[in-house]
């Protein structure tokens, strides 16, 4: 049985294909169109999945869309009715779009599928599970748990903004839901907006900013108290009530009432490119602490309701890897699995899986050890011919290695010499994290590497941290954690023996001084609070990446390297060798490795459009 899942029309459109319950392929549309968070119908992603599965739309058993549009329209109408006469401007903008397009989504989907060769006479089933069921299915079914509690937390689906479910075998039972307009995801997005980052893409920046707050500052307690007294009432079961007098997302065109928030916190909304001040960092830390408290309270309620030993997570809030690490350390559950494509893109996969197990009633077989996501390497790959055609197009100069072992040793030396390497191998990752398929790599021992990567390669904010990729068996040598984290979704501290003692007045340092103070023998991946967003690299899921890190270990004694996504600010992660070469030449990257081909920047012809990316990609 072959099923195609689709998510589209809001943000992070994607497609996923499963065959007899096994994940065959999955990809986000943004990787093909080069438009970050592309919400359009995922025609390119669908074609990739079908091609990889060796099938056509007309041979499918079902096509599944990840939510119920009519329920979403009901929520929209009821919300405007409840808040009337407020929100008339938003109403007049939103309703015509719904009446013209989204209300008739089934017809729109069929029309888009017909452009890809779908024959309506074949009458392939078109199914619509609820949004949070798609999230729940995306996390539970690929997990290795026969029985588990399921938590889904995001901005909003149709009505639900969070859910607690129980997964048992092939079944998922929804036990409890939190409903719009009360939403942890929207609360966090409101602070993302107020602190000058872009909603639905900048939340991870807020998470990275939070540790720059001074935990000893009285502002932290004051901000937390203000948030809990004025903005959000947190119940014992982790459910929340948001005071809509301070928010504008339900019926307005902004996330918050800016003047009210300015009065609450004592400073105005930050503009996107304004310099970050101590009060911005402190407010970021305060909302991160509140978010962690709510997530842990929800998890305790999930444990109480299900009496399950294990937990799976999905929804956009599940990408808050700091909260995930705190939850894991809390001991509420024995083991946790987080869907690597936890946001709306993963809903495409969850929709397909929900149809396979719930609608069609197929039995679930767990014949894998860690999870069924295959390291999340589910996207397009490339051939040697693709690389050679790209090189011919740009007159690029390369060295080809017949022996990957020799290449690994050579690239390990290049990294150890302080160079930045673009690394493109095998299938592209599904989800927001680069995991060694489409990555930019560096030496974590190099004190200048974070600054170089942020300012000269990624062209992004200097405070942004970088993640380590570590050999799975060596994880405990560097971090206070000794389990798997293959999808870079857990934050844990660097071990004490690798830390550098901080001066007594460190917490009072300005942000820039904190940023460049050497905190460990791995300065480029040690965040300001001694934490790191860990990716454990496993030989069975990414043997080439594992071999490179092992070669680096043999050379330097360190089984860990810096890993960041292969893109510049505002650009989706690269997909093809062509994408990779253009990004390589537009930045100050030193080497590019695509398969067994190595490109040295010093040997390449002069690039004529070095700054063109600033016009091509909108800053996020």
The 10s digit of each residue's pLDDT in 198-247 is 998 889 999 999 999 999 899 999 999 999 999 999 999 999 999 999 99
User: Exposed, middle or buried: residue 361 (CB in 10 Å: 0-12, 13-18, 19+)?
Assistant: exposed
Contact 551, 442 (CB under 8 A): no
Higher-scoring residue by pLDDT: 122, 25: 25
* Three-class DSSP category at 208: helix
How many Cβ atoms are within 10 Å of 183's Cβ, its own excluded? Answer: 24
Over residues 317-333, the pLDDT tens digits come to 999 999 999 999 999 99
Residue range 168-192: mean pLDDT, rounded: 96
Using CA atoms, how far apart are residues 609 and 582, in angstroms rounded to an integer?
9
Task: Lowest mean pLDDT of 33-37, 170-174, 251-255, name the range.
Answer: 251-255
Residue-level pLDDT at 526: 93
**Which of 16, 123, 434, 77 lies closest to 250, judged by CA?**
77
d(CA 197, CA 571): 16
* Tens digits of residue pLDDT in 398-457: 999 999 999 999 999 999 999 999 999 999 999 999 999 999 999 999 988 888 888 888
* Mean pLDDT value of segment 347-365: 98
Give the model's pLDDT for residue 611: 56
pLDDT bracket for residue 506 (50, 70, 90): confident
Identify any residues that bridge with 25 across adjacent strands, giving them in sequence order.
17
Closest CA to 339 of 200, 140, 607, 520: 140
Angle in degrees, 0-180, between the axes of helices 69-83 and 88-100, rounded to the nearest 10: 160
Q: With pLDDT > 90 as the criterion, what percentage of the chain qualifies?
A: 80
More confident residue, 251 or 381: 381
**Per-residue model confidence (pLDDT) at position 101:** 61
Query: pTM of this prediction?
Result: 0.94
Q: Is 245 exposed, middle or buried (0-12, 13-18, 19+ CB in 10 A)?
A: exposed
Task: Catalogue all structural domains in the chain, each as residue range(s) with its CATH number.
Answer: 1-135+345-366 (3.30.420.40), 143-338 (3.30.420.40), 384-616 (3.90.870.20)
Q: Supply the DSSP symbol for 325.
A: H
Give pLDDT tens digits for 262-319. 999 999 999 988 999 999 999 999 999 999 999 999 999 999 999 999 999 999 999 9
Alpha carbon distance 76, 99 (integer Å): 12
What the block records as the tokens of 403 is: 């022996």
- DSSP code at position 116: T
Q: What whole-number distance in Å separates Cα of residue 328 and Cα of residue 336?
A: 7
CA distances to 215, 216, 270 from 219, rounded to whole Å, are 9, 9, 17
Assess whether the previous peptide bond of 46 is cis (omega < 30° from 0): no
Nearest alpha carbon to residue 272 among 179, 198, 373, 216: 198
Whole-number CA gyration radius for the chain: 24
Cβ(102)–Cβ(69) under 8 Å?
yes
What is the per-residue pLDDT for 318?
Answer: 97
pLDDT confidence of residue 82: 67
Burial class (CB in 10 A: 0-12, 13-18, 19+), 469: buried
């Amino acid at each position: 049985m072959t099923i195609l899942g689709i998510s589209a029309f809001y943000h992070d459109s994607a497609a996923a294909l499963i065959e007899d319950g096994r994940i065959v392929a999955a990809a986000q549309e943004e990787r093909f169109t080069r438009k970050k968070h592309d919400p359009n119908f995922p025609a390119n992603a669908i074609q990739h999945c079908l091609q990889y599965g060796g099938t056509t739309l007309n041979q499918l058993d079902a096509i599944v869309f990840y939510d119920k549009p009519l329920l979403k329209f009901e929520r929209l109408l009821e919300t405007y009715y409840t808040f009337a006469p407020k929100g008339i401007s938003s109403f007049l903008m939103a309703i015509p779009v719904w009446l013209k397009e989204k209300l008739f989504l089934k017809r729109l989907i069929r029309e888009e599928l017909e452009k890809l060769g779908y024959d309506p006479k074949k009458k392939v089933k078109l199914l619509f599970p609820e949004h949070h069921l798609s999230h729940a299915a995306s996390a539970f079914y690929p997990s290795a748990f026969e029985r588990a509690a399921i938590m889904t937390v995001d901005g909003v689906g149709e009505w639900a903004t969070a859910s607690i479910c129980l997964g048992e075998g092939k079944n998922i039972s929804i036990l409890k839901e939190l409903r719009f307009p009360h939403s942890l995801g929207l609360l966090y997005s409101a602070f993302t907006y107020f602190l000058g980052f872009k909603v639905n893409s900048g939340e991870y920046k807020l998470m990275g900013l939070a540790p720059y707050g001074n935990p000893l500052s009285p502002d932290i307690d004051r901000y937390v108290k203000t948030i809990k007294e004025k903005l959000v009432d947190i119940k014992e079961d982790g459910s929340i009530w948001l005071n809509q007098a301070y928010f504008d997302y339900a019926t307005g065109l902004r996330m918050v009432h800016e003047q009210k928030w300015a009065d609450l916190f004592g400073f105005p909304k930050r503009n996107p490119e304004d310099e970050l001040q101590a009060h911005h960092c402190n407010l970021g830390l305060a909302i991160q602490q509140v978010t962690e408290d709510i997530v842990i309270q929800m998890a305790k309620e999930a444990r109480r309701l299900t009496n399950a030993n294990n937990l799976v997570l999905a929804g956009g809030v599940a990408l808050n890897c700091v909260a995930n690490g705190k939850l894991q350390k809390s001991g509420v559950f024995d083991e946790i699995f987080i869907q690597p494509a936890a946001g709306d893109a993963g809903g495409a996969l969850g929709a397909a899986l929900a149809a396979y197990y719930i609608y069609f009633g197929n039995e679930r077989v767990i014949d894998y050890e860690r999870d069924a996501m295959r390291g999340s390497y589910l996207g397009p790959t490339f051939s040697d011919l693709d690389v050679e055609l790209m090189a011919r197009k740009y007159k690029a100069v390369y060295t080809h290695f017949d022996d990957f072992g020799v290449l690994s040793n050579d690239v390990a030396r290049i990294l150890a010499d302080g160079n930045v390497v673009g690394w493109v191998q095998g299938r592209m990752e599904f989800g927001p994290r680069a995991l060694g398929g489409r990555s930019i790599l560096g030496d974590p021992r190099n004190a200048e590497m974070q600054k170089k990567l942020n300012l000269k390669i990624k062209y992004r904010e200097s405070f942004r941290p970088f993640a380590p990729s570590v050999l799975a068996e060596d994880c405990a040598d560097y971090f206070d954690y000794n389990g798997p984290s293959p999808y870079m979704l857990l934050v844990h501290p660097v071990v004490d023996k690798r830390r550098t003692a901080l001066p007594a007045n460190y917490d009072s340092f300005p942000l820039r001084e904190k940023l460049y103070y050497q905190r460990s023998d791995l300065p480029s991946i040690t965040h300001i609070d001694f934490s790191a967003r860990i990716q454990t690299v496993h030989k069975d899921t990414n043997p080439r990446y594992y071999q490179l890190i092992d070669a680096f270990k043999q050379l330097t004694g360190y089984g860990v390297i810096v890993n960041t996504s292969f893109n510049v600010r505002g650009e989706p992660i690269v997909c093809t060798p062509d994408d990779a070469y253009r990004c390589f030449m537009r930045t100050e990257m030193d080497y590019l490795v695509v398969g067994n081909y190595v490109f040295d920047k010093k040997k390449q012809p002069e690039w004529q459009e070095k700054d063109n990316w600033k016009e091509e990609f909108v800053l996020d």
